[in-house]
Amino acid sequence: MDGVLLLEDGSQFRGRLRLPAADARGPWLGEVVFNTSMTGYQEILTDPSYAGQIIVLTHPQTGNYGVSAGHDESARSWAAGFVTVESWDAPSHWTSRESLPDFLSRHQVPALEGCDTRALTRVLRRSGPLRGALVPLPRGGLAPDDLETLLARLAAWRMPRDLVRRVTLGAPTAVSRGEGTINVALLDFGAKRGIVRRLEERGARVSILPAGTPARDVDQLHPDAVLLSNGPGDPADCAGYLPAVRRLAARYPILGICLGHQLLALAFGARTARLPFGHRGANHTVRDLRSGRLLVTSHNHGFTVLEDSLPPHLEVTYRHLHDHSIEGLRHRYWPAWGVQFHPEASPGPQDAACVFDDFLAQVAGNRRLVTAC
């Protein structure tokens, strides 16, 4: 079926629309963002941080190696839509169990193929993330009245502010994973399974809790450390979680990843803001300011911590090599760290896995409650 991605500025990008269901009519609205990864579409589509977003892949061929068991980063796809140049129906890989189009259909994700993603990405780089709608395209194109109606809907649409509540763990109590000797309490703001895997590989027992878990309930697990996970949306919408984050940071070694990093910064008094067009890809280089080492890292975020808002007790530890934005922070007096990139990758290079090694080494060497200064 012919289809179109309509942006809020009136731009139209045509292609072939794969409907998520036989009787689906749309439109499907979301925030349109682009990702520069060459592989990892399965992990990208199942990353809860993409909730509410229409994902544009800049790499021209998608689906070549199919979909494999064990590569999902969550139980479902949270994407509002998917846009690519070409999506293969007949993948070639010995681990493939399903084609990408079948995967998208099973997860009810509308997909537009044959789109000029280079032109679309140039629009997004110039304007930043835009609201967009995936709609079937009738013969002769969109009628003026239909176009006006769709643009009005886009103008009124806003990204939901409760995305973390939608994607977090549904169980009311902790779900334990692993049998290691270090007990890490993971607050799930939209956690990728790769984070849990990396902790388990390093001898940690992971207790996964819903994002809104009170600090006193975390205390009952007697964790050796706390990890704040990645997640979707604007960190400013997560103010309700900050009192628990502050209390936990005063009592335990704590690591924040992506959204978790931003929440940790907010809890310590910093501010966040939207980046011009975000960092989404598997080839972003960051510099470790302590060692000078360069790490090629996986990214998926649209917001950053503002440097001019940092209180004296926060120190920048990593910096993006291209736009010099903050990629890591640490507290000068408490054992609290945050990284904006994804050390678990999934997808992406493994350069930054040392973040988990450093964190757990610090925890193993100091198994006690940290008293507030």
pLDDT, tens digit (0-9, with 9 covering 90-100), for 47-72: 999 999 999 999 999 999 999 999 99
Question: Measuring CA to CA, how many Å separate 38 from each of 118, 342, 348?
Answer: 14, 17, 9
Query: How high is the pLDDT of residue 6?
Result: 98
Query: How high is the pLDDT of residue 365?
Result: 82
If pLDDT is split at 50, 70 and 90, which confidence band does 23 have? confident
- What is the average per-residue pLDDT within 174-189? 89
Is residue 43 annotated as part of the catalytic site, yes or no?
no
pLDDT of 353 > 60? The answer is yes
d(CA 254, CA 339): 11
Q: By percentage, how much of the chain surpasses pLDDT 70?
A: 98
pLDDT of 249 > 60? The answer is yes
Report the topology of domain 2-157: Glucose Oxidase; domain 1 (3.50.30)
Is residue 373 annotated as part of the catalytic site, yes or no?
no
Which residue bears the tokens 């072939």? 16
Query: How high is the pLDDT of residue 367?
Result: 54
The pairing of beta strand 182-188 with beta strand 254-257: unpaired
The single residue of 258, 279, 320, 331 carrying the catalytic annotation is: 258
If pLDDT is split at 50, 70 and 90, which confidence band does 73 have? very high
Q: For 124-159, what is each residue's pLDDT tens digit? A: 999 999 999 999 999 888 999 999 999 999 999 999
Which residue bears the tokens 């960092």? 279
> Which residues on adjacent β-strands are paired with residue 288?
318
- Which of 18-27, 69-78, 80-89, 272-281 is the least confident region? 18-27
pLDDT of 232 > 50? The answer is yes
State both tokens at 104: 């998208």
pLDDT of 372 > 60? The answer is no
Structural class in CATH, domain 164-364: alpha beta
Domain ranges within the chain, ordered by starting residue? 2-157, 164-364
pLDDT of 371 > 90? The answer is no
Which residues in 274-295 are b (16+ Cβ under 10 Å) and which e? Answer: ebebbbbbbebebbbeeeeeeb
Type of residue at 148? E
d(CA 245, CA 242): 5
Q: What is the mean pLDDT of the chain?
A: 94
pLDDT of 370 > 60? The answer is no
Q: For 283-317, what is each residue's pLDDT tens digit? A: 999 999 999 999 999 999 999 999 999 999 999 99
Is residue 313 annotated as part of the catalytic site, yes or no?
no
